[in-house]
Amino acid sequence: MSYFKRDKRAYILLSDGTVYEGYNFGCEGTTIGEIVFTTGMTGYQEVLTDPSYYGQIVLQTYPLIGNYGVNNDDMESEKSWVNGYIVKEWCEEPSNFRTTATINDFLVKQGKIGIWDIDTRALTRKIREFGTMNGAITTEDVYEKKEELLEQIRSYKVVNPVQVVTQKKKGWFYTRENRANHVALMDYGYKHNILRMLLQQGCNVTVMPASSTVDDIRRLNPDGIMLSNGPGNPEDNVEIIKNIQDFIAYGKPIFGICLGHQLLALAMGGTTRKMKYGHRGLNQPVKDLSKDRVFITSQNHGYAVESIPEDVGTISHVNMNDGSCEGIAYKNIPAFTVQFHPEASAGPNDTGYLFERFSDLMERGQQGCL
């Protein structure tokens, strides 16, 4: 977007009363959410369509967004789940052979409110210092309704996010491989690239609603269970955690990603914590302790596993920036989990080998060698 072309005023109001002034793009109106920042230079369409961002207003730290437009192939779900979008500058004339629309067109189509031309560095520093906080984007005069809006912002809470983003019926996806592993993919808000990676591994996949019980899984008789990513506080998912405990007793191999990683830890007696501002971006360094190698990973989470009983599992991956838990290898069950996104999209594919590990585990299960 031309730096000198400004149309309608828009405002950000934080829960502490701070106001940032900018200009509107996307739809007009007012939206409230938890403001989080992501550091990726690319992958904005994947961010906007990642169900893990449900209930959140996303701030892009990279200053220019939309320079390669949007297209129909980079969707990580059927729609955008963010509550709002904050950028420094957006590109009105994208240049890429795959482009079908601008970022502004996309936000309008998805009914999302955006704001641009604010000091995104200052807002990011504030979140880093004080932690993730609620806020609002509005195209109305924020100063006239400030107290009323502040009350709504401070009382805002995301309720049952997994139940909102999960599909309501199971779906089937098949590979052309002659001898394929069958995976039950638990949809807590899965990204489409998890499905793509499983299909590339030669798996048949059945996507299951988040509320599915072990009886639903038994009827499928899968070779393995994938616990997907998703939004919200893992501790709020009491029934899902009980179901996962039943999945564990069922005895099939389990691979968990992001929220799935946290849920399995809770099911096994571990604890989780809310992070100050989380990890969101495409360049988080993670060490695989079994390989003694560091990989660059894609991440999007505001909670982390705090502890896991020593007799249950061991930490397999650690974040090189803050030492937080990034993976768990379980001792007495055929299961492993990671906090980051090995399917990437967007981001590096360095840890795609974990899908191969899951396939190997399922094949051992078929042979009775677990």
Tell whether residue 256 is among the known ligand binding residues.
no
CA distances from 172 to 108, 203, 208, 216 (A): 32, 11, 9, 14
The alpha carbon dihedral of 258, 263, 269, 274 has a sign of positive
Rounded CA-CA distance 129/72 in Å is 37
Tell whether residue 300 is among the known ligand binding residues.
yes
Tell whether residue 339 is among the known ligand binding residues.
no
The residues annotated as belonging to the active site are 258, 341, 343
Work out the burial of residue 239: count CB atoms within 10 Å of its CB; fewer than 13 is exposed, 13-18 middle, 19 or more buried. Answer: exposed
Tell whether residue 230 is among the known ligand binding residues.
yes
Please choose, from the candidates 142, 197, 144, 153, the residue with its C-alpha nearest in 3D space to the C-alpha of residue 175.
197
Tell whether residue 303 is among the known ligand binding residues.
yes
Tell whether residue 259 is among the known ligand binding residues.
yes
Per DSSP, 21 falls in state: E
Tell whether residue 269 is among the known ligand binding residues.
no
Tell whether residue 53 is among the known ligand binding residues.
no
Rounded CA-CA distance 154/15 in Å is 6
Contact present, 36 and 58 (Cβ < 8 Å): yes
In the annotated binding site, the residues are 52, 230, 232, 259, 262, 300, 302-303
In the annotated binding site for L-glutamine, the residues are 52, 230, 232, 259, 262, 300, 302-303
